[in-house]
Amino acid sequence: MISFPVTTSPPFESQFFSQRIKIHSKFFYDKGKKFFIQGVSYGPFRPRTAECSFFPLPEEVKADFLLMQQAGINTLRLYHFPPAWFLDLAKEFNLKILISIPWINRYAYLSNLQSFQDFKKSLKNKIKAIAGHGTLLGYFVDNEMAPDCIRFYGRRKIERLLSDLLLFVKENDPDAALSYANFPPTEYLHPNPVDFYSFNVYLHNPKELENYLSRLQNIAGEKPLLISEFGMDSLRHGEEEQANLLEEHIRIVFQSGLAGTILFSWTDEWFTGGMDIEDWAFGLVKKDRKAKKSYHVVSKLFQSSSLPLYKRFPLERTPKVSVIVCTYNGAKTLADCLSSLKRLQYPDYEIIVVDDGSTDHTRKILHQFPEVIAFHQPNKGLSAARNLGIEKATGEIVAFTDSDCMADPDWLYFMVKTLLDDRYVACGGPNFSPVPRQSIQETISLAPGSPSHVLLSDTHAEHIPGCNMAYWKWIFEKIGYFDPLFRKAGDDVDICWRILSSGYQIGFNPSAVIWHYRRFTVKDYLKQQIGYGEAEALLRFKHPHCFGSLGNALWKGRIYEQNLSFFSLKKSSLYQGIFGTGFFQFLYPEKESFWSAFLKSFEYLFASSFLSLLLSCFKTTRPFLFLPLLPPLLAALNYTNRVLKEKRSHSFLSKFLLFFLVLLQPVARGYKRYKTWLFSRKLSLSIPKGMSPADIFKSLIQKPALLSFWSKTGQDRLFLLGAISRKLIKTASLYALDSGWDNWDIHVYADPFWDCQLLTLTEIYPKNERVIKIKIRFKRTLLNKISLFLLILSLYLLFLEFGQNSLLLTLPLSLLLLSFLSIQKTIIGIKLKEWIKQTAQEVGLEPINEDNKPSKPL
């Protein structure tokens, strides 16, 4: 067990922070420490003076602020612009202010653009009067736009108006945090650019609330999520039920990793619509400021905000966790990684670093962290390093991150919370970019192709990235360890698919955050994409049923990338309920079409480049030279504009670099994927000694090979298949096993031109004896088919150009190619048959001569 001093400092540069509350990733920060919003709504109140202020008198406000301070409340949500004295008084009590901009004449603004412009002019003076005040946290540009209003005027128009207002407020108060206070009936409404997401949610069922917050966390992505209103009426439910609900709500909010919550409301005194509201009582205190039971419950929870989450809201148990970091020449970021792991707020964990043959100053850095358990091995690859970490781990849970990552202090808390759910044997979380160290790193971090998770639902994952994943240690004994075939990447995808195919489930916690340095140079970024391309090909060898015809993974879930996706033709469906009255109105994005994906793929880039080259060869087609390249160029331009839309400043060089990377990413990834897929096939066998030319010729003309073996001790075909699989692994041959949907048992990737499929049968005889039969079928590879296609195309073009005379030139070439393919097939068949015979004999099976099979009565 490691005991480190508790801190909530973020794992990135402290100079990022100033005196005002700042946002980075999923959280607010105050002077470099996490600031959890523990707020209440305040007002509006019946005006006390002729100036029609919607706030109490200063002495009343001061009394309220004193009670709030004693309760641990640190934020107020206001529904009108406050006077200057109010802000000064809030600063005195160290309270932060969030202001909801009131749309007094909302429907006039929507139907009359000039009215909206006049509204903005009056708003400018109010913002300028308080901009930069130290207690001002930010603004909500509106609150709960009615769903029928959005349906009537159109979602796009409403989003444009709100986005326009967001930009307008940002221009007049650049440091203010901005959001739109949404609610479930209009969940689909997403104006930009918001700094944090906020929802008014009044779900009183704890489980339903927890599930919905998981959904909202995924919608919020890299940005903080705040509950901007939540409460219960004590008139209808009673003070006891109100207190119990708020206690459960606060627990769920912080255990779900939200940035905070604002309770509605501070007091039962409520004035709106020109009248006092008498038949609702949502306050923590009554109108006379007498505390309700909920005030004392909330106070107890809010006053413990300085404690780590595992002490504020204890888990049912805290199993020991072994955090494993595998590194190969990762010295540049290793110190940052280990420093962040030292700050983890979890009571029982160990840090294990596996140095996979590094040649930089990794060992020197490890000496600076004596509490870290370090192991060194020759360079064997990422999977082998992870397997060594698992073997040395002493925890019930093993968690993985990379040496170029930094963990949020509460990372393990959220991981363990998910794994304690009996449904899951593994868990993952998102990975976001830290504050970039250089402008080029910031641009690279925005490029596509970063590690991402794939979700089947809000809490169930199909894939969790290797830089942020955790497992119960026992699962590796059930399904096997990481496959050493994957030296750089792909091991995480492989083990996720193996877990799911074994009937287990993988969880996802959007609050278990890792900050992942993208890449520091263009060269490193492209090298990373090349590694991913190689991994995709290796995965396709092992899981062919999980890939499409273009080599693209066929995910069942939704891919969540940090950045916006490429331009696509896919549409979304919006459920609004009958007459637009649905309480939960969801946006259902449809899967991208084949053609939309194809236009952005390596295959299309390759084909369009070839076509453009062909068009350039002829004078009549030369004007259309760039026409085939327009789709990927437009897609890259659209991606660049969308990703940089929220950035306040970016140079032309940054735009061009991002545009260039968007175009180059599928090229680098696709080239390596195809190179590996086409030329990594190998069957490490040799032709048996003593074979005569007659034997080779017989194999050449033979139909699909059939091998038979006799078992006197009752072994069946599964026994032989297991032996063959182990032998394939031992010889480093590439193969795939039947997924349950295939008509073969083992698919062997023999060479670049031929694959072999093994299909087995068990015949049962008396006295528990068996005959095991293996049929060997040959399949042409993509390279084989392309070779034949090019040959036929060449023959056709030459025939058109030279007529029958071309046959004299092409016939020898055709015979040479066909002979080469046939000889390759024969050699593979000979090798494979003899190798299977040898394997069968090693496990005690007797070969049966195909011409003299024994006949046994059934």
C-alpha 680/C-alpha 751 separation (Å) is 8
The yes-or-no verdict on residue 159 having pLDDT over 60 is: yes
The yes-or-no verdict on residue 216 having pLDDT over 80 is: yes
Q: Return the higher-pLDDT residue of 9 and 818.
A: 818
Band (815; pLDDT cuts 50, 70, 90): confident
Band (557; pLDDT cuts 50, 70, 90): confident
In the chain, % helix, strand, coil (3-state, to 5) comes to 45, 20, 35
Q: What is the mean pLDDT of residues 509-537?
A: 89
What pLDDT is stored for residue 52 in this prediction?
Answer: 65
What pLDDT is stored for residue 569 in this prediction?
Answer: 38
Q: What is the mean pLDDT of residues 449-466?
A: 89
CB atoms within 10 A of CB 11: 18
Q: What is the mean pLDDT of residues 824-850?
A: 84
C-alpha 178/C-alpha 540 separation (Å) is 45
Please provide residue 707's backbone torsions phi and psi, each rounded to the nearest 5 degrees. Answer: -110, 145
Lowest-pLDDT range, 150-164, 320-334, 490-504? 150-164
* Residue from 173, 104, 101 nearest 139 by CA: 101
The yes-or-no verdict on residue 11 having pLDDT over 80 is: no
Give strand pairing partners of 78: 42, 99
The residues, ordered by sequence, that sit 6+ positions from 660 with a Cβ below 8 Å of its Cβ are none
What pLDDT is stored for residue 576 in this prediction?
Answer: 66
Contact between 762 and 771 under an 8 Å Cβ cutoff? The reply is yes
What is the C-alpha R_g of the chain?
33
Over pLDDT 90: what percentage of the chain? 46
What pLDDT is stored for residue 693 in this prediction?
Answer: 62
The yes-or-no verdict on residue 771 having pLDDT over 70 is: yes
Lowest-pLDDT range, 389-393, 595-599, 786-790, 830-834? 595-599
Lowest-pLDDT range, 231-240, 470-479, 587-596, 828-837? 587-596
What pLDDT is stored for residue 95 in this prediction?
Answer: 96
Q: Return the higher-pLDDT residue of 8 and 137.
A: 137
What pLDDT is stored for residue 563 in this prediction?
Answer: 46
What pLDDT is stored for residue 687 in this prediction?
Answer: 59
In 342-384, at which residue ranges do the beta strands (DSSP E only) sit?
A: 349-356, 373-377
- Torsion sign, CA atoms 498, 456, 513, 305: negative
- Look over the chain and give the mean of its residue pLDDT values, rounded to a whole number: 85
Q: What is the mean pLDDT of residues 205-227?
A: 92
Band (703; pLDDT cuts 50, 70, 90): low
Q: What is the mean pLDDT of residues 347-367?
A: 95
The answer to whether the peptide bond before residue 448 is cis (omega within 30 degrees of 0) is no
What pLDDT is stored for residue 696 in this prediction?
Answer: 59
What pLDDT is stored for residue 103 in this prediction?
Answer: 83
* Residue from 484, 364, 512, 483 nearest 424 by CA: 512
What pLDDT is stored for residue 3 in this prediction?
Answer: 36
Lowest-pLDDT range, 95-104, 561-570, 679-688? 561-570
Lowest-pLDDT range, 3-12, 109-118, 330-339, 511-520? 3-12
The yes-or-no verdict on residue 567 having pLDDT over 60 is: no
C-alpha 170/C-alpha 193 separation (Å) is 9
What pLDDT is stored for residue 704 in this prediction?
Answer: 58
Q: pLDDT per residue over 626-639, tens digit each?
A: 888 888 888 888 88
Instruction: Give me the domains of the chain, ranges plus CATH numbers.
Output: 37-303 (3.20.20.80), 573-679 (no CATH), 693-847 (no CATH)
What pLDDT is stored for residue 570 in this prediction?
Answer: 45
Band (643; pLDDT cuts 50, 70, 90): confident
The residues, ordered by sequence, that sit 6+ positions from 568 with a Cβ below 8 Å of its Cβ are 592, 593, 596, 597, 600
The yes-or-no verdict on residue 755 having pLDDT over 80 is: yes
The whole-angstrom distance between residue 577's C-alpha and the CA centroid of its chain comes to 30
Lowest-pLDDT range, 222-236, 244-258, 679-693? 679-693
pTM: 0.85
